[in-house]
């Protein structure tokens, strides 16, 4: 599939899409991320996404996912607010199963989508694409993208998506009219307007359970902290998603370096986000890759 030119997102690019709080900021002005993720089977996905959002520097994380998950989220990160209220961006779906969606949960998800706030749709929230009106990015891996396209009567096997991730990410963006972040060793980020960006992972240790949930938290936090920009420039969601993938990759590299190049857990990656953001905000170039 011909998809135009793809450009690798750099540290300089990413640093333009990060911001530190100013003297005028408070937690609401900084941005509140609403999170509806996790399930009794996958509470960890919610914990990881919320941790990553906090570490990315959002004003507040408001978790209104399943009750069975809330306790784990609040125990791991007591800064999280567990009641509904003002939200400026949403992260929906990580650790959820589309086939086991309660009436209550379906209502909460629809309510979030109807709010018109920027939205990140991950994992068990991917099927909701199409009912959005606000700037939205979907964050599938190859299996999830193939499934999503099949559900929309577009034939694509997992093998085909893996063989041509650029082509299928671009096709999905056009067909679904949404920004797409297709995860992999090279992450492809694109949108229906023709923006085409890649982020090449700095370490393959990232290929472990839960790192995608961490990425969701980073994208969500950046959407929340840029809610004012997104209100006037919807296409900014694509650049924010690429920035999140870049921060995620660099955090994984740092986390692995802390273990002398050894394996990292998803939580290690989340904990390594702040120094990556600190360096990017100071305009310090990424250290050369080995």
Ligand X SMILES: NC(=O)C1=CN([C@@H]2O[C@H](COP(=O)(O)OP(=O)(O)OC[C@H]3O[C@@H](n4cnc5c(N)ncnc54)[C@H](O)[C@@H]3O)[C@@H](O)[C@H]2O)[C@@H](O)CC1
Residues that bind ligand ADP (CB under 6 A): 141, 183-185, 187, 201, 204, 206-207, 209-213, 215, 248
**The pair of three-digit structure tokens given for residue 285, joined into one six-digit string:** 């170039």
Tell whether the torsion through CA atoms of 46, 49, 55 and 60 is positive or negative.
negative
Closest by alpha carbon to 238, among 160, 169, 161, 163? Answer: 169
262 appears as a binding residue in the annotation: no
* Structural tokens at position 123: 């994992």
Our CB check for ligand X shows the closer of 31 and 210 to be: 210
Nearer to ligand X, 31 or 66 (CB): 66
Helix (H, G, I), strand (E, B) or coil at 120: strand
Query: Judged by CB, which is closer to ligand X: 148, or 230?
Result: 148
Cβ neighbours, 10 Å, residue 103: 7
Of the pair 87, 182, the CB lying nearest ligand ADP is at 182
Q: Pick what 201 binds: ligand X, ligand ADP, none; C-beta below 5 to 8 Å, kind-dependent.
A: ligand ADP
Of 175-183, 186-194, 204-212, 230-238, the segment contacting ligand X by CB under 6 A is: 204-212
Q: Minimum CB separation from ligand X for residue 284, in Å?
A: 31
12 marked among binding-site residues? no
β-pair type (60-63, 32-36): parallel
Write the DSSP assignment of 135-157 as a string of letters.
Answer: -EEE---HHHHHHHHHHTT----
Based on C-alpha coordinates, what's the Rg of the chain? 17
Q: How far is the CB of 30 from ligand ADP (least distance, A)?
A: 25
> What residue numbers does the annotated binding site for AMP cover?
183-187, 212
State the residues that interact with ligand X by CB under 6 A: 42, 44-45, 94-96, 123-124, 143-144, 209-210, 212-213
């Amino acid at each position: 599939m011909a998809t135009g030119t793809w450009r690798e997102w750099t540290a300089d690019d990413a640093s333009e899409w990060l911001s530190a709080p100013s003297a005028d900021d408070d937690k609401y002005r900084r941005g509140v991320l609403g999170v509806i993720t996790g399930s009794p089977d996958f509470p960890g996905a919610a914990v990881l996404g919320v941790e990553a959002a906090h570490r990315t520097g959002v004003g507040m994380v408001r978790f209104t996912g399943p009750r069975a998950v809330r306790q784990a989220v609040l125990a791991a990160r007591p800064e999280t607010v567990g009641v509904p209220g003002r939200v400026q961006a949403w992260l929906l779906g990580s650790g959820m199963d589309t086939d086991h969606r309660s009436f209550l949960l379906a209502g909460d998800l629809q309510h979030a989508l109807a709010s018109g706030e920027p939205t990140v749709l991950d994992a068990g929230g991917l099927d909701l694409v199409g009912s959005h009106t606000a700037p939205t990015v979907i964050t599938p891996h190859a299996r999830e993208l193939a499934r999503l396209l099949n559900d929309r009567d577009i034939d694509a096997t997992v093998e085909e998506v893996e063989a041509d991730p650029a082509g299928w990410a671009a096709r999905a963006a056009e067909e679904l009219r949404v920004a797409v972040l297709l995860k992999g060793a090279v992450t492809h980020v694109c949108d229906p307007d023709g923006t085409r960006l890649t982020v090449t992972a700095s370490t393959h240790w990232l290929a472990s359970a839960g790192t995608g949930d961490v990425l969701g938290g980073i994208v969500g936090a950046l959407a929340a902290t840029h809610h004012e920009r997104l209100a006037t420039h919807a296409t900014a969601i694509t650049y924010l998603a690429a920035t999140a993938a870049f921060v995620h990759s660099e955090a994984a590299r740092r986390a692995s370096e802390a273990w002398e190049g050894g394996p990292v857990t998803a939580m290690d990656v989340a904990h390594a986000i702040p120094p990556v953001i600190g360096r990017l905000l100071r305009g310090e170039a990424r250290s050369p890759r080995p």
